Amino acid sequence: MQQQAQATAASSQRRELKPAAATTVHLEPGARVASATPAAQAGPEHVEQPTAYDAVLLSGFGGPEGQDDVIPFLRNVTRGRGIPDERLEEVSHHYRHFGGVSPINDQNRALLQALREAFDAAGLDLPIYWGNRNWAPYLDEALQQAAADGVRTMLAIPTSAYSSYSSCRQYREDWADALEAAGLQETLQIDKVRQFFNHPGFLATFVDGVRAAVAEAREAGLADDEVEVLFATHSIPTADAERSGAPDLHEWGPGGGYEGQHLAAAEWVMAEAAPDVPWRLVYQSRSGPPSQPWLEPDVNDAIEEIGGAGGRKGVVIVPLGFVSDHMEVMWDLDEEAIETAEEQGLWVRRTPTPGVDPQYVGALVDLVQERLEGRPVADREAVTSIHAWYDVCRPGCCENPRLGFKPAIAGLQP
């Protein structure tokens, strides 16, 4: 199976375009969930019936693996926005700086191997397929291989922990695109694990990182009130944030479920790791026009404020919104944010992302097991002030009205 996946990845390097947007999604009467297993088709918030899956689908963002891949990759990422290649070339310098290679594919290969080993250790006899949204190996290729192997039901793991358009619904749209491109809408069913922002195995990796960094700061002579922890995540348009996290079912702040989930996660991490150290949530990697409101403050603005306030001498940057050290962590944090901190004369550390930490891998295994077992919500692993998140996305959650309605699976429509 692993050799087949590697062969698929190698052959698909010659293909530049991701699957086209789906034009149809099969919907049963009564707002049933498209392309879902029977237990999830009626759209319960949590599926508490055991479900037998044939395989697991690990879904990544994808990234270029050479200079010639950069522009085709960026075309896939920005499809539908009408951005010319000249503009894409202007924003490609992050990838060019690292030889046109994003680390994200190698990291997903490592995660794939770690998951396979963890499945074996847990006695889970399930193959794992890997497909990307924006670069080879593409999702439709993974689905075609799975179908050829006899797979009919899959449980998808997106490599993103939070609720928003780009971190949840866009995965669901791309699964719909891939099913249509592969001609498998009627024969292959795909459910998804819940968003795992508050699974203790995921957050434990950040607890370890904060503890270690604060201990280093203390060894460097800094008191707890002289250090500030900055939890960094990708900024998104405020209009998207407002529509994230099932807003009809939850009362969120102005940043919606996306901000609310991050705040709850950060609060729990600090309570476990360093309750006396001040912290805040910051954002990075903004890419929209100046006229469009995005979530703030930017990590660099926050660092400059800390440096100018006079009371702090150090910052700890925690990439809370990311599961691995992909390009936006390596450039926006390791290059730009650390440079800003050094210019301000601040002691600075950046903590690790989960990567293949056994605690994180164990959390993903647990998410699969709870669906196989039909585990009751009350028995699921979840910390923070927010309950274990939904198995089936709710109507209207994480819509992107600027792009218009697009078919999506693993959730109730609009």
115-148, pLDDT tens digit by residue? 999 999 999 999 999 999 999 999 999 999 999 9
> What pLDDT sits at residue 28?
62
Please, which pLDDT band fits residue 5 given cuts at 50, 70 and 90? very low
Mean pLDDT of the chain: 92
Torsions phi, psi for 309 (to 5 deg): -75, -25
Pick the closest to residue 269 from 305, 237, 300, 233 (CA basis). Answer: 233
- Listing from the earlier edge strand, what are the strands of the sheet with 55-60? 128-132, 55-60, 153-158, 189-192
Among 91-100, 182-191, 202-211, name the one with the lowest average pLDDT: 91-100
> What pLDDT sits at residue 390?
97
Would the pLDDT of 247 be above 80? Answer: yes
Would the pLDDT of 187 be above 70? Answer: yes
8 Å CB contact between 261 and 386: yes
Torsions phi, psi for 355 (to 5 deg): 55, -115
Please, which pLDDT band fits residue 12 given cuts at 50, 70 and 90? very low
Interval 227-232 mean pLDDT: 98
Among the ranges 28-37, 87-96, 197-206, which has the highest mean pLDDT value?
197-206
CA dist., res. 158 & res. 194, Å (int): 9
Interval 239-243 mean pLDDT: 94
Would the pLDDT of 77 be above 60? Answer: yes
> What pLDDT sits at residue 4?
40
Pick the closest to residue 172 from 148, 139, 209, 198 (CA basis). Answer: 139
Residue-by-residue DSSP string for 202-257 = HHHHHHHHHHHHHHHHHHTT--GGGEEEEEEEE--BHHHHHT-S-TTT----TTHH
β-bridge mates for residue 157, sequence order: 58
Pairwise pLDDT comparison (239 vs 79), residue with the higher score: 239
β-bridge mates for residue 189, sequence order: 153
8 Å CB contact between 290 and 327: no
- Cα 84 → chain centroid: 27
Would the pLDDT of 176 be above 90? Answer: yes
Among 66-70, 112-116, 143-147, name the one with the lowest average pLDDT: 66-70
> What pLDDT sits at residue 329?
95
In the chain, what's the furthest Cα-to-Cα distance?
65
Whether the ω angle into residue 137 lies within 30 degrees of 0, i.e. cis, is yes
8 Å CB contact between 126 and 119: yes
Pick the closest to residue 134 from 81, 63, 192 (CA basis). Answer: 63
What's this model's pTM, rounded to 2 decimal places?
Answer: 0.94
Percent of the chain past pLDDT 70, that is, above it, reads 95
Within 18-169, where are the H helices? 38-41, 70-77, 85-90, 93-97, 104-122, 139-148
Please, which pLDDT band fits residue 2 given cuts at 50, 70 and 90? very low
Pairwise pLDDT comparison (386 vs 31), residue with the higher score: 386
Pairwise pLDDT comparison (290 vs 29), residue with the higher score: 290
Q: Exposed, middle or buried: residue 150 (CB in 10 Å: 0-12, 13-18, 19+)?
A: exposed
Interval 61-73 mean pLDDT: 92
Would the pLDDT of 45 be above 80? Answer: yes
> What pLDDT sits at residue 79?
83
> What pLDDT sits at residue 322?
98
Q: List Cα–Cα distances, 286 to 63, 106, 258, 298, in angstroms.
A: 18, 25, 15, 8
Q: Exposed, middle or buried: residue 385 (CB in 10 Å: 0-12, 13-18, 19+)?
A: exposed
The owner of tokens 């927010």 is 386
Interval 370-387 mean pLDDT: 97
In the chain the domains, ranked by start, together with CATH numbers, are 2-63+102-195+357-379 (3.40.50.1400), 200-350 (3.40.50.1400)
The owner of tokens 């508490």 is 48
Among 188-202, 304-318, 337-351, 369-383, name the one with the lowest average pLDDT: 304-318
Between 139-148 and 2-12, two packed helices, what is the crossing angle to 10 degrees? 140
β-bridge mates for residue 56, sequence order: 128, 155
Please, which pLDDT band fits residue 248 given cuts at 50, 70 and 90? confident
Would the pLDDT of 276 be above 50? Answer: yes
Q: Exposed, middle or buried: residue 410 (CB in 10 Å: 0-12, 13-18, 19+)?
A: buried
Pairwise pLDDT comparison (83 vs 118), residue with the higher score: 118
CA dist., res. 368 & res. 55, Å (int): 10
